[in-house]
Amino acid sequence: MSEFIFSDLTFENKERPLNEFPKIALQLRKDVITSLFYAGSGHSGGSLGMADVFAVMYFGGLMRYNPSNWLSSIRDRFVLSAGHISPILYATLARAGFFPPDELKSLRKLGSRLQGHPGLDVELPGIETSAGSLGQGVSIAVGMAISHRHLDKTDQLVFTVTGDGELQEGSVWEAAMTASNFKLGNLCWIVDNNDCQIDGRVHEVMNIYPLQEKFEAFGFNVITIDGHNYSQIYSTLKDFKNNSSKSEKPNCIIAKTFMGKGISFMEDDYRWHGVPPNKEQAIKALSELELLEKQIIELNKIN
Amino acid sequence: MNFEKIEKIPTRKGFGEGLVKLGEENQNVVVLGGDITGSVLTSFFKEKFPERFFSIGIAEQNATTIAAGLALSGKVPFFASYSAFSAFRNADQLRISVAYNNVNVKIGGGHSGVTVGPDGATHQSLEEISFIRTLPNMTLIVPSDYNQTKKATVAIGRMIGPSFLRFGRSAVPSFTSQETPFEIGKANILTEGNDVAIVACGTLVWESLVAAEKLKKEKGIKARVIDMHTIKPIDYNTIIDAARDCGCIVTAEEHQVHGGLGGAVAEVVVKNFPVPIEFVGIPDRFGLSGEPEELMEYFGLTSNTLINSALRAITRRDKGFDLIRHIKEINK
Ligand SMILES: Cc1ncc(C[n+]2csc(CCOP(=O)(O)OP(=O)(O)O)c2C)c(N)n1
Ligand SMILES: [Mg+2]
């Protein structure tokens, strides 16, 4: 099946019109579906739900990185704290040129650099830290932000993504306290707020709300956005980038998302947290995405 | 034993069913959920006794300490998560609030070892036997199949004191029956033999049985396979007997070779009846993604490795005897 092949298409990281993001996000969603289908296990829901945020964060000319010299000492950092949604990070890195997209086929396989949860030991370009034990990545991001702001005295930005269920880990709030204590204006913490986790709705498994007020009380600049609205994602990240060097407050973006976004039979269903599509489901998902792609092309012609 | 057509059942099913049984016989049994109730099958208890189930969310430190509070209020709390998070994320809480307090908290460590598979190193706990067994007051059980896990779950629920039960995710050969005895601290001798002893726990017990069968058929070597399901308190007598009768030992576990079952056996042997020991386990490294069987093969956690280790142990024993004889000759 041709859909199960990874093209070697890559996207540039540059300032671009908002109507170019849907196509990128769509490609990332296709890659997530295809790689998870090959893997036969893994986390579809959160990966699909964050595709729009990743598309803007990596391809909107906001984050500074260089795939051909990715360990450059002046790069901005991205730390995936919710390690289980690695498929969206892998898809993004592949499409940004960190490694060949065809390698997405090896997700979760023996000998692969694409470990089920990112591992630093396998040295995949673009991976800043191992992750998978929830709650740890955000403290790593705080450590990096302290290093850049107070020791290196550079303007490097640190982005991190946590889940919302992940916020139930107490250490997350230790990280929050620390971020404002050390005035980490260079930190941008994005919460994937899909109100889903493994056992059900986050507010039912263990209530974390109100979120906006909690982060504000911890000393953050907080903004709640629609995590599927490119204009809102772009302008919030842009504001962060523009203000970070002057800002003494860490930043929190609560991105309201839907788990499984983009695939009709997965959307907003927590049972898709940790399962891959089987062949039939993958074909259905990919054809839904292809239909969407045609619509996007038509729409762009009109605009 | 039919080695070809053995039924496979995950040990976590035994844990889930054991909890329901305990819930029925003791009103004080309560279960805390850590957002993976369907994975470690505390979901069975949750469905049956919703009023005695508390969802704590993804907060292993909190859940462990809450369990200690419940125990200090006369309850029998179980908390289970992936072993990576219910033995390590909460390590301090286990040490102080549970073990030092010596309270009646029961911890389930599911999805342990490399057989959790493609999730990879972060989720493959390979160090908890060595950690948990060093905690004073703790009981540590690593059952080998579905039936035994169910019995072990019920047994730790009935005993008083902090306990940890380590089990797995994938379906594994179900070779014990409902009638097979299970007693905490009393190892099960599965095959008789005086040539070499294989002391194993968890998934490696089945591999040991396969190895023993091949050793007998192919080399005429009779191996004594010992299912050391209780790591703490360890069954001294069975180990010392094995050392004396066989003169050499192989230990086998889905865990780091350092500090686990092998270490526990070695401590007993070195002090009481020193004989050569070969250690089969993960060779001081982290796991990686792959299918469970692939990883067991990759790390050499197979009957073939056990056979080679048994032969090596026997050689070392016999050479050692030669050496001792030789030294005695010289000294005459
Ligand atoms: C410390 C720790 N505990 C438990 C887990 C198992 N686990 C993996 S993902 C997950 C749910 C995470 O929920 P959320 O952060 O909302 O992510 P989403 O389901 O929305 O992708 C859990 C409990 C883990 N990876 N780490
Ligand atoms: Mg969530």
For B188-323, CATH gives 3.40.50.920
Determine the structural domain holding residue A222 and report its residue range.
Answer: 2-8+21-302
Q: B17-38, pLDDT tens digit by residue?
A: 999 999 999 999 999 999 999 9
Per-residue pLDDT of chain A (303 residues; tens, 9 = 90+): 445 889 999 999 999 999 999 999 999 999 999 999 999 999 999 999 999 999 999 999 999 999 999 999 999 999 999 999 999 999 999 999 999 999 999 999 999 999 999 999 999 999 999 999 999 999 999 999 999 999 999 999 999 999 999 999 999 999 999 999 999 999 999 999 999 999 999 999 999 999 999 999 999 999 999 999 999 999 999 999 999 999 999 999 999 999 999 999 999 999 999 999 999 999 999 999 999 999 888 888 876
* Beta bridge mates, A252: A189, A222
Catalytic residue from among B60, B127, B128, B253: B60
Q: Residue B114 in contact with residue B254, Cβ under 8 Å?
A: yes
A14: in domain: no
Q: Is A213 on the interface with B (CB under 8 A)?
A: no
Amino acid letter, residue A285: A
Show the tokens assigned to B330. Answer: 């010289």
Closest CA of chain A from B62, distance in Å: 8
Q: Minimal CA–CA distance to A229: which of A46, A19, A32?
A: A19
Q: B169-212, pLDDT tens digit by residue?
A: 999 999 999 999 999 999 999 999 999 999 999 999 999 999 99
A15: in domain: no
- Structural domain count, chain A: 1
* B60 is annotated as an active-site residue: yes
A34: in domain: yes
Topology of domain B8-173, per CATH? Rossmann fold (3.40.50)
DSSP secondary structure code for residue B195 in this structure = S
A56: in domain: yes
Q: Minimal CA–CA distance to B164: which of B73, B93, B83?
A: B83
A259: in domain: yes
Q: How far is CA B54 from CA A43, A202, B67, B153, in A?
A: 26, 14, 10, 19
* CA-based nearest residue in chain B for residue A85: B119
* Residue nearest atom 23 in ligand 1 by C-alpha distance: B35
How many CB pairs (< 8 A) connect A and B? 99
pLDDT at B278 over 90: yes
A13: in domain: no
Predicted model pTM: 0.96
What b/e readout covers B247-286, taking b as 16+ CB neighbours within 10 angstroms? bbbbbbbbbbbebbbbbbbbebbeeeeebbbbbbbbeeeb
Taking an 8 Å cut-off on Cβ atoms, the answer to whether A197 and B290 are in contact is no
Least CB-CB distance to B35: which of A40, A115, A197? Answer: A197
CA dihedral B253, B255, B260, B265 (to 10 degrees): 10
Q: B60-91, pLDDT tens digit by residue?
A: 999 999 999 999 999 999 999 999 999 999 99
Amino acid letter, residue B46: K
Strands B8-10 and B29-33, how do they pair?
unpaired
Show the tokens assigned to B110. Answer: 């599911």
Closest CA of chain A from B239, distance in Å: 37
Q: How far is CA A3 from CA A272, A279, B299, in A?
A: 21, 11, 35
Domain ranges across chain B: 8-173, 188-323
Can you state the angle between helices A86-95 and A21-39, rounded to 10 degrees?
Answer: 120
* CA-based nearest residue in chain B for residue A112: B289
- CATH of residue A104: 3.40.50.970
Which chain B residues are within 8 Å of A133, Cβ to Cβ? 84-85, 89, 122
* CA-based nearest residue in chain A for residue B82: A133
Residue bearing tokens 């005897």: B321
Amino acid letter, residue B187: A
Which residues approach ligand 1 with their CB closer than 6 A? A 45-46, 82, 84-85, 132-134, 163-166, 192, 194, 196-198, 202, 259, 273; B 35-36, 58, 85, 89
A16: in domain: no
Q: Which of B41, B42, B54, B58 would you mutate first to test chain A, the one with the most A CBs within 10 A?
A: B58
